[in-house]
Chain A
């Protein structure tokens, strides 16, 4: 320890202070991670250990029964498939539509550009749940409640502003000189978009769609309101499962883990983009 610290210690930093800082940091990390650990711990325990007045901090007996019983629930697999279909539809549409608008904002100067930026920023702040009442009535009128398409439409709107905004950032990052060079070499405008900008935005498209996936996958209130129990996604299944059966904690935690895995994996892959997208997505005119 001391050897490592020598280089780090600057004026006014005592060794005791560093010790306290390190201890606080470790305790903080442990406290933060504990609820996550407890979900895992519970999911791998047999029921006798879950429903016990003296909880075990590490399973005495390691079991996969909870996962089996979650997967065996009548609506678990259908909910998973519904979620995947809805998410894929919403993300794909948001990506195509959003990329076009991002191109316009990033590569053209035109009358109304600032206004569009303002709208894109503003709608991200509208508490979406507030719009759920009119959306429900509209979809009901269009016979789109209780359908995967209706939910996908709503999720599309949920994802679109962020998609446009993030892709705009990625496109702005591509040097204009590339466009110019391509045009001098005889490319037309559409060819520039198709052959230069689209491939170079690749990583941005991946990051944006992954974020979109997380958003759509995590949503449960809208789908819970619009659809009947047969047409829910996994998150809504988690909610239903809690309210209607009393609580079987082991299978619930196992279901929660299965539901979370894609989100956590994707999140850890793209976390840098999420952090900067929310705060430093500055408006570059």
Chain B
């Protein structure tokens, strides 16, 4: 599977080959190794300079107290030990943000995965033309830039001229000039709808590709043997779909936990406290209040909270690779 030059010649491998061959092969593989590292070098340098080093800076920063003064003077910020972390962990506002982000993630991921799976299953059942229509609709939604999608939802839910209020009023509810973001539950319902709506295409299309791996004969056999559609789904389709389902769910968790664009744009770039998530909170602390160290500490905590999910995702990717 590896580079062809380093593969020992099968005819020679079992017996001890002449030393000269061994030496040459070793030289070759050493040279290969050097060439490979040389080719990877630019990528590694960039990743170290622009990713590893900032990561290190962020961690150092979170143990300091950097404010606007240090930014302008360029002086080394004073050491603060665990102050920033203590500040965060003893602050009710911070815990509110953590709880809100987590709750949003659970709700939005559950909804979008269930709906995505439902749509994927539905697409197997419908007429070919309906399926094409569904695909086209989803493709456009998927292709739409996040910010444009958020802007369109802001317009749909506009209190004065938004079409949502108009339609609801026509249906007999009094929603004229109703503002959707006064009540946080309603506001979050809008944000969640936006995220789920935007997330369904990826999930439904990936899962429907995965569903083609489920052998039709197996499902038909099960039906002939008297299995209900539900039993066939639970005992045949879902187990086959499981690895893919795990990966798309994990990705959704990672994406939705980092929610920024949607609540940022829907709240005009100034989310009120009840609309803050970890990402916007860290950003606001750093760039809104010039509290760079506190923002860094929150970012570090966010990464730590996500670490488990990320490790799980990478392991899953490797696992699938080994299965292939």
A positions within 8 Å CB-CB of B: 1, 4-5, 8, 10-13, 17-18, 21-22, 24-26, 28-30, 32-33, 35-36, 38-39, 42, 50-55, 97-98, 100-101, 103-105, 107-113, 116, 118-119, 121-123, 125-127, 129-138, 140-141, 153-154, 156-157, 160-161, 164, 176, 179-180, 189, 217-218, 220-221, 225, 235, 238-239, 242-243, 247, 249, 252-253, 256, 259-260, 263-264, 267-268, 271, 275-276, 278-285
Contacts and interface: CB of A to CB of B under 8 A. Distances in A.
A148 B265 CA distance: 24
Nearest to B300: A130
A4 B127 CA distance: 8
Nearest to A130: B299
A97 B244 contact: no
Given A53-B161, A134-B61, A157-B51, A127 B258 contact: yes
Nearest to B232: A12
Given A21-B125, A35-B149, A256-B151, A137 B47 contact: no
> Which label, helix, strand, loop or mixed, suits the secondary structure of the B interface?
helix
B102 to A, nearest CB: 15
A283 B317 contact: yes
B152 A256 contact: yes
B11 interface: no
Contacts of B51: 123, 126, 131, 157
B197 interface: yes
Given A1-B127, A32-B200, A238-B147, A279 B279 contact: no
B98 to A, nearest CB: 15
Contacts of B151: 39, 238, 242, 252-253, 256
A160 B50 CA distance: 11
Contact of B134 (A29, A135, A136): A29
A176 B160 CA distance: 63
Contacts of A104: 35-37, 39-40
17 contacts: A22-B127, A28-B119, A33-B137, A36-B144, A104-B40, A111-B33, A118-B314, A122-B310, A122-B314, A127-B299, A133-B282, A156-B46, A164-B43, A189-B35, A238-B147, A264-B143, A268-B143
A110 B321 contact: no
B202 interface: yes
Given A35-B153, A53-B166, A108-B32, A121 B3 contact: no
A21 B126 contact: yes
Contacts of B174: none
In the A-B complex, the 9 residue pairs with the smallest Cβ-Cβ separation, listed nearest first, are A109-B2, A283-B321, A267-B143, A134-B57, A130-B299, A108-B36, A101-B43, A104-B39, A134-B54
Given A164-B43, A238-B148, A283-B321, A132 B138 contact: no
Contacts of B71: 137, 140
Contact of A260 (B133, B136, B148, B247): B148
Most buried by A among B3, B146, B148: B148
Nearest to B200: A32
A260 B3 CA distance: 43
Given A29-B133, A29-B137, A51-B161, A137 B292 contact: yes
Contacts of B139: 267-268, 271
Contact of B156 (A25, A35, A118, A252): A35
B71 to A, nearest CB: 7
A176 B4 contact: yes
B239 interface: no
B320 interface: yes
B13 interface: no
Contacts of A1: 127
Contacts of B36: 104, 108, 110, 113
B241 to A, nearest CB: 12
B161 A179 contact: no
Given A35-B152, A121-B314, A156-B46, A284 B140 contact: no
Nearest to A99: B39
A263 B145 contact: yes
A25 B206 contact: no
A105 B1 CA distance: 12
B114 interface: no
A11 B220 contact: yes
Given A109-B6, A125-B254, A130-B58, 5 more contacts: A18-B126, A100-B43, A101-B40, A129-B283, A243-B269
